[in-house]
């Protein structure tokens, strides 16, 4: 399902529409950290 609130980092609804601004910022920070770790691990496996 596409994201209508604009908060999803993937463009698909991840349920972040009801988060407060502070909760959203924390979730986004965690997401970006995990994505960075996944990309780093992927580049090590290449």
Contacts of 36 (CB under 8 A, 6+ apart): none
Q: How far apart are CA 40 and CA 20, in angstroms?
A: 30
pTM of the model: 0.75
Local confidence band at 14 (pLDDT 50, 70, 90 cut-offs): very high
Domains in the chain: boundaries: 1-46
Percent of the chain with pLDDT over 70: 98
2: β partners: 12
Whether residue 21 has pLDDT greater than 80: yes
The mean pLDDT of the chain is 91
């Amino acid at each position: 399902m596409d994201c209508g609130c604009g908060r999803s980092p993937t463009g698909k609804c991840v349920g972040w529409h009801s988060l407060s601004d502070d909760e959203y910022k924390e979730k986004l920070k965690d997401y970006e950290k995990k994505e960075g770790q996944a990309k780093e691990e992927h580049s090590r496996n290449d």
